[in-house]
Structure 1
């Protein structure tokens, strides 16, 4: 089959690789019909995620048709399914309390020591991300093996298009959980750092949860326009004194809740971020946490800090004093996707949530490398890229 493989920083290639096979009786094989490039994939593309090996198949946002099942799978051939990027066994302590991204069994035992050494406990398995998360082949491919297929995949009706439901795999529930972790109240003023895909869905979710005012922060004009289209107020951080603007927009009180949807590769020319960029470039393992620092300083005393943005290493100059002295709540984590998919699918079916506004480009899988390059370098115009296996390439 054809698949997008990683070979180093800014080096991804579509190659012919072995087809996946059933390994365990709970497996299923999915023929991929749509897969997306995620902002988190750019961390791999930029070489800042450890334990990625040459030849690894990338991609954790995908859906498709069931073509083969193990004897214990609950899926049947021909079903259309969206697959959560988090791999969960369904039976461990964490799965039983719906903390699916903390699953104890989905990361193979022989790989758990790597993430345990970094984080104190092993990470759960994730598709197409790193050998820290199990080394599972991802979904930017023609076919993919789905472990624990009786737990994760959600069957979607034929009345809904791939575009409408694909983002149930990751960014829609991630944005929703980001807003939920912010404990949105009806009179809240909430700010979201980053108007990428997760940030836009966090904005949409916060508004749906009843926030009185949502402020979107970015510097890309088109992304800010998309945020305004959802009903958010916007601030271009390159054209404003952000702290002053947020204090003014919150009536001098500060924000009730803040959501960092940026993560480890923040933009900006502030001295702290420039130092983080330099350290990250030479491999010291320092995440660029400028957005998180800003968010903690901008939220009011007693406020809530939600972090759906991905961090993977160490952070320097973390404002721990502000976090403690202001009495803030901090909630974060990989998304417990399986907890949210059924309810969000109903909202899509009922027309309460639209996911298609985000899509800017659809490309054949064969053009995946071009998609990565442009999604990375043209973030104003390339807001979300969908890859379609089997789609014909257009003439140059």
Structure 2
């Protein structure tokens, strides 16, 4: 019996994509979640087991116990693949304990959390010579003066702990246009007991967002990689990818590989960059230390990162591979892209003709698959149910 793959977080299309990516290669997949609600990823025909465990934050100790109890019953250590930041934080905090029972690429406890935390990531980037947007912390001397003179309005109020901030405010950042709005944003963060900082906005539309997607082996060497360019995101300007293309950008390999290898990172990582439209320089924005939103696009261009992870973890690594051409293939999350397009058009950032023209590319869909339709059906049923339920309550 071969090693199973346990996928954490299947109520979002990242988990669904991981299940499909592994299942298509014949890997026994296990969807592990805390609730059946909106668990459409587990509806995939490539999902072999469905397990409910205690909530990873509300009942952390019981969650860890359930995770370990499952692994103890297996003939071989399962490969563990978290598909959400908050799952990853819990795994990272208990890494040494969990690694006794699961195969996990990362070996340094706390490193995944460091790269997800904006404060510690900023320090690592500066230390390794990678550009990051100018930042002012709220307790620094002459804070307001520095914001007005160095950062300038409009600017961003960003959290150190992104997963918690998103959970509380349902957005990644606050964008503020003057000192009054800044003070209001800081007060909201204070009331939520969340630490934040103020950052300069790197000039450029959303299509100036790029990514370096890579896998680093147990020697912390990049073995598989490609680069992508976001065209649209939701919420617009400061959200998650909804329409992204694979585009070869060699400069990002130079910056990204040196940085990840320099911090001894292992496993999959996605570095998000923004290209300054005035200088052409790339600035590191954030790092995703788990399978990314457009994993299916990466799969379509020949980089099956969940399976690359699985194979190295079971001691049978795949041959190194880099996609060093522009395939023009796009990732498309149509449901949220419709909302994004509405926002872009209303704010005058895009015209309908530009949007329509962009769609004429071969696509990797977030949820829909003609060969595996049940997740899309489950997703649609849940969304329609919420819509009708909301109308009835109104």
Same fold (TM over 0.5): no
| TM-score of Structure 1 vs Structure 2, range by shorter chain | under 0.3
User: TM-score normalised to the size of structure 2?
Assistant: 0.27
The structure that is helix-richer by fraction is 2
